[in-house]
Amino acid sequence: MKKITLKDIGKHFGVSISTVSKAVRDSHEISTELKLKIQKYAKENNYKPNKVALSLLNKSTKTIGVVIPNILNYFFIQVLYGIEKIANEKGYNIISCISDESNEKEGKTLEVLDAGTVDGLIMSLTNDSDINKNISYLQEIASSQIPVVLFDRVSDAINCDKVIVDDYESGFKTTEYFINIGCKNIAVITPISNSNIGKLRIDGYKKALHKNGISFDEGMILNIEPKHDLDLEMSFLLNYKKIDALLCLDEITAVKVQSIVKERGYSVPGDISIIGFTNGQLSKYVTPAMTMVSQHGKYIGEMASKMLIKRIEEPDSGEPFETKVIKTSLIVRESTKKID
C-alpha cells in the first residue's frame, strides 16, 4: 500500500481532513473517543505527515545544502562529518553535492539548491581558474535568499559567515618550527598555488623566514600540477640547493614526497625534515609517521553547521557576519627532527 494521507484516514472514518489532522496532533478540539480511534488507525497504517507538504506550508525544508569540491579528500570528509553531526542533532538533513573542482558543476549545483530545496548553504569554493564566475550569483543568494556559510576556501566578495583555517599563521608557525629544530633551507611544495589558501600559507612562510633573517628564494617554492611528474620536479628541487626541510601543502603530496625523498637515499628526518598539511588517515601510518598540521576538519564542520542553523532559525537577529578563524595545531611525529 502506498503512503496513507489525511484524506485516506478521513474517508475511512467519514470525517473531514481537518478533523483527522487535529486528531493525530492530539488537539483538544476533537473528542477523546474519535481521537483514540483515529490515532490507533494512523499508527497501524504508519501515517506520517508528508514532509513536502509541510515544507511548502512552513516555507522551511529542514534541509541544508553542502557543496564541497572533492569528496575523496579527507579534510572535506571530516568537515562533512562535523556538519552532518550537528545538523542531525538539530533535526536537519543534508543534501551533499560535489563540485569536483569544476566551476561549471558548482554553478549548476547552486542553481538547483537555489530553488527552494534547502534552508541554508554550507560550501567551500572550487579552485577552478575561472574563479569569479559564480561569485556574484552566490553573493546574491547569500544576500537575499538563504543564509550561507563558507568554509576553508572562501571569498572576500561574498558577504556571509565564514569559518576558515588560520593559514597565514600556520604557515608562519610551521616554518618557525622548522627553524627551531635547526633547519635553514626550507622548501615548499604546493599543489594549490592558485588558491588563496596556498598563497596565505606561503606568505606566512615568507614572514617567518624574514623574521629569522633567512632570505626568501623563489626557487624554493615548487608548484605542482595534477598532470606533472612529481618525481621529476622533485629532482630539480633537490638538485637546486641543499634542502633540509620540506613543507607540503596537502597530505597526499606530503606522503608522496616523503616516499620520493626516501627512495633517493635521504634519511627522514636525519637529512630532511618533512611537515604536511591536513592530518588525515595517511600520515599516521607511513614510515616514518609524519608530522602534520591539523586543521580540525570535524570541528570546522560543526562550527559551520551551528552558525548556519542559527542564521536559519534567527533570520532577523541583525548580528553582523562573522569569520571564525580556527587555529591549526602541529601533530608532531617522526618525520621531523626533535627539538634540541
Partner DNA sequence: AAAAATTTCGCAAAGCTTTTCGTAAAAGAT
Partner DNA sequence: ATCTTTTACGAAAAGCTTTGCGAAATTTTT
Q: Site residues (CB under 7 A) for DNA?
A: 5-7, 14-19, 21-22, 24-25, 28-32, 34-35, 47-50, 53-54, 56-57, 59
Contacts of 2 (CB under 8 A, 6+ apart): none
DSSP-derived secondary structure letter, 124: -
309 binds a second copy (CB under 8 A): no
DSSP-derived secondary structure letter, 105: H
CA separation for the pair 242, 146 (Å, rounded): 53
145 binds a second copy (CB under 8 A): yes
Cell, residue 69: 569540491
How near is the Cβ of 191 to a second copy at its closest, in Å? Answer: 15
41 binds, among a second copy, DNA, none (CB under 5 to 8 A by kind): none
Cell, residue 97: 553535492
330 binds, among DNA, a second copy, none (CB under 5 to 8 A by kind): none
Helix 6-13 to helix 17-24 angle (10° resolution) is 110
18 binds, among a second copy, DNA, none (CB under 5 to 8 A by kind): DNA
- Asked whether 204 and 165 are in contact (CB, 8 A), the reply is no
212 binds, among a second copy, DNA, none (CB under 5 to 8 A by kind): none
31 HSE (CA, 13 A, CB side): 4
Task: Provide the 10 A C-beta neighbour count for residue 26.
Answer: 9
**How many residues of this chain bind a second copy (CB under 8 A)?**
49
Residue with cell 641543499: 242
What is the DSSP secondary-structure string of 293-319? EE--HHHHHHHHHHHHHHHHH-TT--P
Stretch of residues binding a second copy (CB under 8 A), selected from 25-33, 110-118, 186-194, 329-337: 110-118
How near is the Cβ of 242 to a second copy at its closest, in Å? Answer: 25
CA separation for the pair 42, 48 (Å, rounded): 8
Residue closer to a second copy, measured from CB, 94 or 245 = 94
How near is the Cβ of 122 to a second copy at its closest, in Å? Answer: 13
How near is the Cβ of 91 to DNA at its closest, in Å? Answer: 15
Is residue 65 classed as helix, strand or coil in its secondary structure? strand
- 66, β-bridge pairs: 96, 122
112 binds, among a second copy, DNA, none (CB under 5 to 8 A by kind): a second copy
Residue closer to a second copy, measured from CB, 36 or 112 = 112
How near is the Cβ of 143 to a second copy at its closest, in Å? Answer: 9
Interface pattern 255-274 for a second copy (x via CB under 8 A): xx--x---------------
Cell, residue 34: 474519535
- Asked whether 110 and 134 are in contact (CB, 8 A), the reply is yes
Interface pattern 50-79 for a second copy (x via CB under 8 A): xxxx-xx----x-x-------xx-x--xx-
* Dihedral of alpha carbons 125, 310, 139, 323, sign: negative
Residue closer to DNA, measured from CB, 14 or 213 = 14
Stretch of residues binding a second copy (CB under 8 A), selected from 6-14, 139-147, 239-247, 326-334: 139-147
17 binds, among DNA, a second copy, none (CB under 5 to 8 A by kind): DNA
